[in-house]
Amino acid sequence: MEVLVILVPLALGLGLVGLLGFLWSLKSGQYDDLEGAAWRAIQDDEPARETPSE
């Protein structure tokens, strides 16, 4: 049962990482346009710019 000492904090730590990830994604505006995000995923890549940026 000593394995709990490792497993429980590990599980909680992973959960916490998930939560922090969620809060970060929220802060960086990733939930502002859910409809658009769904479509962007399947959009074709933008063609390379004709004039190379300096």
What is the size of the binding site for other proteins (CB under 8 A)?
24
Contacts of 31 (CB under 8 A, 6+ apart): 25
Whether 5 and 12 have beta carbons less than 8 Å apart is answered as no
By the rule CB under 8 A, 26 interacts with other proteins: yes
By the rule CB under 8 A, 10 interacts with other proteins: no
Position among 43, 48, 52, 54 found at the interface with other proteins (CB under 8 A): 43
Strand (E) or helix (H) holding 9: helix 3-27
15 vs 45: CA distance, rounded Å: 34
Query: Residue 53 CB, nearest distance to other proteins (Å)?
Result: 11
Residues that bind other proteins (CB under 8 A): 1, 4, 8, 11-12, 15-16, 18-19, 22-23, 26, 31-36, 39-40, 42-44, 46
